[in-house]
Chain A
Amino acid sequence: MKKRFVLVSFICAFFISFFSCNESSSISIMQALASSQPKDGKRWKSAEVVYNSSDSNKVDAVIILANDGMYVVDKDIEEKGDYLSKPTFKNNAKDSDGNIIINGLIRNVYVPSNYNSSSFANIIIQCVSSQLYTPSEYYKIDLKNLANVQKLTLDDSMGKFCAKSSSQSSNFIMMQSDSDSDKYSYKIGRYRINGDFISFEESISIQPEFKISNFFEDSDALNYIILTSTSGDDVKEQQYYKYSRASNTFEKLDKLYSLAIRNFKVHSDGTFMAFTQAGGVIHSSSNKNYLYTSDSYFSYNRYSPLVYFENKSKASEDEPDFTFFGKYSGNGFIIHGYNKTLTDDRIYNSNYKGSVQTQGYAESLRAEDISDIKAVELKSSRDDYDYRLLLLSSENGISTYLFKSMLPDQMKYNTQSVEIRNRVDLFI
């Protein structure tokens, strides 16, 4: 009897210790259960920051897309509160709903190049008739008078909206033209609202032999562009190409194949940083070699919509050049600093890695399935930057984190950061 009890206890202890090692999530099973949401519950999908046209340190509005429609938040609306309970523009709204009529589902938001905060604060929304990509309809919305909605026409000869730049406050877009030949035809440039039409100002025209799904440009000059090509939705199947405007050539980046890269930071000399889905950081160099590093904190992330702040006021060599953020599996997000420069192969990141997890359990139990992160850098005074992170949890809504420093080891502790739940809080 005593032996049996000892045996059972031993087996139990073994299993407990074995599975206690399974710490791949930052929340427990009971916490995850408690934060589950109904199937038909709200899903927050993505956010778009509309910067002030004359002062890039100011934000005019934040547009948030959810499964029930689009939420427009500006400074006045933010102060009134309760702006996240009902969409400003409801999907498939009818007259009787008392909403502004939008045909179909709002799929994407665009800020045209002739957006002007004071005289022409109009954005473009793209609507599709169903969840599948079907022919789109475009509308312009006046942010100064949200009831002022007008349908826009996009000339078929220009092609169709293919991908927009992910660079902060950039408004480049890629258009795909129908082509009868084997080659694809793309144009990158800026788009503007011209009366009832969307017009396109072409900067670059490329005819690759592959289909392009996304692009990352170095600057407004578009000297170098990283292009991603995929035959399907599987990010691991993507191929990456570097396009040089000067030589009009494509360089296939073979070594990056299967690395599932989610974001690129392209430098003006054609070198780049790449952030992988698994949280790895890749630096290219001029001799076509790559320096790859990954961090165990990231190793179990599935989808990390990595964003970064660039250190523009670096005070010492110990400060990272970039501080980037990724989803932390389970809840919260992770902050990671990286000090690799183009001329320096050393990695300084070990002192900076850390994570900030959302606090609380019973009151605001949250399993953060993060759908979008936006890094917003605003200069609140002459030498004082505010680093704000807009975090969109697909189930739990929006949080804004305010950091007074971009040094990860200072961000790590909440003495230097403030989390503001259910508020956009980007309007300074």
Chain B
Amino acid sequence: MRLKKAFFLSIVIALFSLSNVFAYSYHQKGDFQLSLRLPLSVPTFTSNIGVKPVETITFGDMGYKNIIVGIEADIGVFTSSAVSVGGILGYNFAYDRGENLFSRVPLLFKFNYFAVSSHKNEVPLSLGIGVNYFKYRSMEHIVPQLLVESGFNIYWTDNWSASFRTGINLYAELYADSKKNNISATIPLVFGVTYRK
């Protein structure tokens, strides 16, 4: 747990350091970005917080046959030269060991801080919060989600870029029956294209 904290803290510090190096910002208030994302998510852990002591399973024990794949639309409108707000709507799916479909539909509000924003490169740091619709066999549930991610955009024209993001997705599956409550996490590896204007 300490290692994780240290890892994210070092990323944040590194990004803020970079922002001082590249003080120039490409964007202005009112600009927008639209991204088409192909997320590959690695299931990382599930912790049952409803029992004492808390029990945790990781990776292969979580029951997925493979990684989670999907497609997402990500839109952001700049409110200043370094900050944009927007959201994500998408569809992700995976199969369990028995090849039953697990689906989730994320609907997130997203805040992006651009530590680096130049003509050719961008390094955003993003925080997303929202809900997911989970569906698995006959079960369905709305699950709150917290997303922390960072990455880069590399522009090959003024408007089009290839993008990559990674970070962590946290899901809180909460029920009235507290024994079922759990927090799960995936590490996303997101590839996409971004259009900016």
Chain A neighbourhood of B176, CB < 8 A: 20-21, 23
Whether the Cβ atoms of B131 and A27 lie closer than 8 Å is no
Residues of A within 8 Å of B85, CB to CB, are 1
Bound together, the chains give a CA A351 to CA B174 distance in angstroms of 29
Residues of A within 8 A of B181 (CB): 28
B62 & A34 in contact (Cβ 8 Å cutoff)? yes
Most chain A C-beta atoms within 10 Å of own C-beta, residue among B51, B64, B133, B182: B182
A36-B96 contact in complex given A16-B174, A29-B139, C-beta closer than 8 Å: yes
Give the complex CA separation of A22 and B134 in angstroms.
12
Tell me, in angstroms, the Cα distance from A26 to B178 when the chains sit together.
Answer: 11
Q: Please state if B63 and A33 are interface contacts (CB–CB under 8 Å).
A: yes
Quick check: is A32 within 8 A (CB to CB) of the other chain? Answer: yes
Q: Does B158 contact A (CB under 8 A)?
A: no
Contact A33 B175 (CB under 8 A): no
Chain A residues near B139 (CB-CB < 8 A) = 22, 24-25, 29, 32
Q: Is A246 an interface residue (CB 8 A)?
A: no
Given the known inter-chain contacts A33-B64, A362-B57, please indicate yes or no for A15 contacting B180, CB distance below 8 A: no
Smallest CB gap from B85: residue in A: A1
Instruction: Say yes or no: is A37 at the interface (Cβ < 8 Å to chain B).
Output: yes
CB interface residues, A 349-364, toward B, < 8 Å:
360-363
Instruction: Kindly report which residue of chain B lies nearest to residue A395, judged by CB atoms.
Output: B98
A30 touches B46 (CB 8 A): yes
Q: What are the interface flags for B102-138 relative to A under an 8 Å C-beta threshold, 1 for contact and 0 otherwise? A: 1000000100000000000000000000110110111
Pairwise interchain contact B136-A33, C-beta atoms closer than 8 A: yes
Q: Bound state CA distance, A29 and B181, in angstroms?
A: 10
Q: How far is the CB of A23 from chain B (nearest CB, A)?
A: 6
Instruction: Assess whether B67 is interfacial by the CB under 8 Å rule.
Output: no
Contact (Cβ within 8 A) B55 A30? no
Instruction: Answer whether residue A382 sits at the interface, using C-beta atoms and an 8 A cutoff.
Output: no
Are B55 and A28 interface neighbours, CB within 8 A?
no
B177-189: CB near A (< 8 Å → 1, else 0) gives 1001110100000
Nearest chain-A residue to B55 (Cβ)?
A: A362
- Contact between A12 and B131, CB atoms less than 8 A apart: yes
User: Is A29's CB under 8 angstroms from B98's CB?
Assistant: no
* SS of A interface (majority): loop
Complexed CA–CA distance, A1 and B84 (Å) = 12
Given A5-B109, A361-B51, CB of A34 within 8 Å of CB of B61: yes
Q: Return the contact of B177 from the options A16, A23, A37, A41 (Cβ within 8 A).
A: A23
Interface assignment of A315: CB less than 8 Å from any CB of chain B: no
Min Cβ gap A357→B in Å is 8
Give the number of chain A interface residues (Cβ < 8 Å): 34
Q: Within the assembled complex, what's the spacing in Å between the Cα atoms of A365 and B56?
A: 11
Contact B175 A37 (CB under 8 A): no
Q: Does B144 contact A (CB under 8 A)?
A: yes
Flag if A37 contacts B98 (CB, 8 Å).
yes
Q: Which of A1, A23, A29, A35 contacts B173 (CB 8 A)?
A: A29
Q: Is the CB of A19 within 8 A of B140?
A: yes
Q: With CB as the reference atom, state the residue of chain A lying closest to B142.
A: A19
Q: Determine if A221 is an interface residue (Cβ-Cβ < 8 Å).
A: no
- A133: interface (CB < 8 Å): no
Is A132 interfacial (CB-CB < 8 Å)? Answer: no
Given contacts A36-B100, A361-B55, contact A26 B177 (CB under 8 A): yes
Q: Known: A22-B140, A32-B137. Is A363-B55 also a contact (CB below 8 A)?
A: yes
Shortest C-beta distance, A324 to chain B (Å), equals: 23
Please tell me if A31 contacts chain B, counting CB pairs below 8 Å: yes
* B35 lies within 8 A of chain A by Cβ: no
Contact among B98, B138, B140 for A36, CB-based, below 8 A:
B98
Given known pairs A16-B131, A362-B48, the reply for A33 and B96 (CB within 8 Å) is: yes
CB <8 Å contact, B48 and A31? yes
Q: For B61, list chain A residues within 8 Å (CB).
A: 34, 362
Among A30, A39, A360, find the residue whose CB has the most chain B CB atoms closer than 10 A: A30
Query: What residues of A have a CB within 8 angstroms of the CB of B64 in the complex?
Result: 33
Once the chains bind, are B97 and A36 in contact (CB under 8 Å)? yes
Instruction: Give Cα distance in the complex from A22 to B62, angstroms.
Output: 22
| Residue B141 at the chain A interface, CB threshold 8 Å | yes
B44-60 with Cβ < 8 A to chain A: 46, 48, 51, 55-57
Complex Cα spacing A24 to B56, Å: 24
Which residues of A have CB within 8 Å of B102?
Answer: 29, 33
Q: A20-B176, A361-B51, A361-B55 are in contact. Are A31 and B97 (CB under 8 A)?
A: no
Whole-angstrom distance from the CB of B93 to the nearest CB of chain A?
12
What 0/1 readout, one digit per residue, does chain B (153-197) give for beta carbons within 8 Å of chain A? 000000000000000000001111100111010000000000000
For A34, the chain B residues whose CB sits under 8 A away are 46, 57, 61-63
**Residue A195 lies at the interface, judged by CB distance under 8 Å to chain B:** no
The reply to whether B177 and A29 form a contact with Cβ atoms under 8 Å apart is: no
Query: What sequence of 0s and 1s flags, for each residue 75-94 of chain B, a beta carbon within 8 Å of any chain A beta carbon?
Result: 00001000001000000000
4 cross-chain pairs, A with B, having the tightest CB-CB distances, nearest first: A362-B55, A36-B96, A19-B142, A33-B63
What are 9 sample pairs from A and B whose C-beta atoms fall under 8 A apart? A12-B131, A19-B133, A24-B139, A29-B143, A33-B64, A33-B102, A34-B46, A34-B62, A36-B98
* Extra A-B contacts (17), CB below 8 Å, given A23-B175, A25-B138, A29-B102: A1-B85, A5-B109, A16-B144, A20-B141, A20-B176, A22-B141, A26-B180, A28-B181, A29-B139, A29-B143, A30-B184, A34-B63, A37-B98, A39-B98, A41-B97, A362-B55, A362-B56
